[in-house]
Amino acid sequence: MSPPAGDAPRSRLPAILLGTVATLVTIACLGLGIWQLERRVWKLDLIARVEARSTAPAIPPPPPAEWARMDPREVEYRHVAISGRFRHDRETLVQAVTEHGPGFWVLTPLDTDDGFTLLVNRGFVPLDRRDPATRMAGNAEGARRITGLLRITEPDGAFLRSNDPAAGRWYSRDVAAILKARGIERGAPYFVDADATPDPGGLPIGGLTVLAFRNAHLIYALTWFGLSLMGAVALAFLIRQERGRKGGPRF
């Protein structure tokens, strides 16, 4: 006895749904793989540009008045040099973990010869040297010429740890908040990581800027392409199975 006419379309519904899902998965994974390849090209270009900026001859940092017209992504890690006098009495300690262990970044305002104040990350000090009295040799007075890398502000705080200016707890280098907490006006909206030129007494330790960018886009692309291939194989299997079913049993 032949099955009722209405049963044939209903029996094909699961195959149609599975085929639709397999098609969408194949197309989506293929698109994501292509996107990751495009991201890889962008990341390699970024790495090359940052390398060029950081190793170029040092130039003066941009005046604060010009910052609004600039793209921060195009100037970050620029090699800069500027002269001025540190205001050691207004330094800010920002928690950090480096190759030297846990401790603090020492951010000190520099009254520049160009007429504005610039936060300089002078470098790292360990936990037991957070008190300026334990490293007075490094806080010499007088004119200084600072070279380093221009860095972009890090607002709000770190992951799950917000800055608390009132309590003096800092987890990120939030330039605007630090300048406000220290009562500094006419401050640049960026900061500078000082280079490895040693300070008297050996502290703070500069030159610890990490110029490493994660670039796993090729691995991600291959993963997505593999999933796309799996989706295509599943789709081909469903089509073959459906054709075999339409042809009826084989003896």
Give the model's confidence band at 107: pLDDT under 50 very low, under 70 low, under 90 confident, else very high.
very high
Mean of the pLDDT values across residues 180-203?
91
| Residue 140, φ and ψ in degrees, nearest 5 | -65, 145
SS3 label, residue 241: helix
As a whole number of Å, the CA-based R_g of the chain is: 29
CB 134 within 8 A of CB 125: no
Burial of 192 (0-12, 13-18, 19+ CB in 10 A): buried
Is residue 8 predicted with pLDDT exceeding 60? no
pLDDT tens digits along 121-142: 999 999 999 999 999 888 888 8
Split at pLDDT 50, 70, 90, the class of 48 is confident
pTM of the model: 0.71
Q: How many CB atoms lie within 10 A of CB 21?
A: 14
Residue 3 has pLDDT above 70, yes or no: no
The pLDDT tens digits for 216-240 are: 777 878 888 888 888 888 778 777 7
pLDDT of residue 72: 87
Topology of domain 78-202, CATH: OB fold (Dihydrolipoamide Acetyltransferase, E2P) (2.40.50)
Give the end-to-end CA distance of the chain in Å, rounded to a whole number: 19
Say if residues 118 and 191 touch (Cβ distance below 8 Å). Answer: yes
pLDDT at 177 over 80: yes
